[in-house]
Structure 1
Amino acid sequence: MHDPATLREKLPYRDCVGVAVFNRDGKVFMGRRMPEGDPENAPERGAPWQMPQGGIDPGETPYQAALRELFEETNISSVSLVAEAPEWIHYDLPDELLGVVLKGKYRGQRQRWFAFAFTGPDGEIDVAAPGGGKHKPEFDAWRWELLDRAPDIIVPFKRDAYEQVAAAFADIPRRFTHV
């Protein structure tokens, strides 16, 4: 058994992107992660919903990674940039997942978050055959959700990060609604 504090100090954060996609009603896309073989989404961890996210490839800008990850996970390509979170947002893995998830190489993730307006029809979204059918599905369902509800429906160890995302993009839903 490894000492979590020692391991945490040795491991870096993985540089990633996160994507908040807003529909015309100001709601944000949430995908339900596939439970099979994903220790992050064990039933005892809570609801497995999250927004699209993923690693930044070598030579890729965070913006390019955001567009790529969005397409690879949801099939969405009809978007326009609305905002970028002003700071990197971090989350740490719980002790029992250190050395297990994220290929055992990272203590958590350092994410650059982007907000996009979805400009296509809902029919463009295909979590069963994402990336034009060329990528393995990561979600088994999706829904539009209020941004301020997102921190309540994700795995608990990502809650603080999602609260930061919700704060960074808090004004965006009002831009889409006609209230």
Structure 2
Amino acid sequence: MNTLPYRPCVGIMLINSEGRIFTGERIDTPGAWQMPQGGIDRGEQAEDAAYRELEEEIGVAADRVSIIKQTSNWLYYDLPPHLMGKAWGGKYRGQKQLWFKMSLHTKDTAINIATEHPEFGRWQWLEPDQVIAHIVDFKKDIYQQVLNELL
């Protein structure tokens, strides 16, 4: 399985005016919290994918946010053995991600997780030092890298 490629992806660290970070609990995995993220479509620029994923996952349009910072390189994670060969049709061993720190320029009412294809059942703002404790185990290392680089 380690010969499989990594899925190109973006992640978004959305920050509110108090410096708290958006996290959503996955509908398909109760107890698994994460920041918005998703695949980069063929021919799509990473920045465009980040804006698209933000709107698709939490209903926030590009004109409601601004990019503050981006990770300097791809960050990688492998799927745990029980998901290897199952997630994403078994085509990938994990993801390589470019992360964007974005600032929300509007009220929380702009956030709508009841999207066309909902991924989150509920959401919350967390202090930066609370994020890692809420993240699913196999993503903790990459999330620590994201926090280290973007905060």
TM-score range, shorter chain: over 0.9
The residue that corresponds to 2:5 in the other structure is 12
1:121 to 107, 116, 131: 107
Structure showing the higher helix proportion among its residues? 1
What is the aligned counterpart of 2:149 among 138, 144, 168? 168
The code of the aligned residue for 1:155 comes to V
> What is residue 147 of structure 1 aligned with on the other side?
128
Q: Distance in 2 between matches of 1:149 and 1:92?
A: 23
How many percent of aligned residue pairs carry the same amino acid? Answer: 44
**TM-score, normalised on structure 1?**
0.80
Q: Secondary structure at the match of 2:50?
A: helix
Structure possessing the higher radius of gyration over alpha carbons: 1
Aligned equivalents of 1:32 and 1:137: distance in 2? 11
Take 1:158 and 1:148, find their aligned partners in 2: how far apart are those partners?
A: 16
Amino acid at match of 2:20: K
Which 5+ residue runs of structure 1 have no aligned equivalent?
1-6, 36-40, 171-179
Higher strand proportion: 2
CA contact (8 A) 1:148 1:166 kept: no
Q: Aligned to 2:65, which of 57, 79, 82? A: 79
Q: Unmatched 5+ residue regions in structure 2?
A: none
How many residues are treated as equivalent by the alignment?
149
Alignment partner, residue 67 of structure 1: 51
Instruction: Report deviation, 1:148.
Output: 2.7
The code of the aligned residue for 1:50 comes to Q
Question: Runs ≥4 in structure 1, deviation > 4 angstroms?
Answer: none
Say if 1:27 and 1:147, in contact at 8 Å, map to a contact too.
Answer: yes
Q: Which residue of 1 aligns with 2:20?
A: 27
Normalising by the residue count of structure 2, what TM-score does the alignment of the two structures yield? 0.95
Distance 2:147 2:127 in 1: 10
2:76 corresponds in structure 1 to: 90
What does residue 96 of structure 2 align with? Answer: 110
Q: Deviations over 1:51-77 (max 9, x none)?
A: 000000011100000000000000012
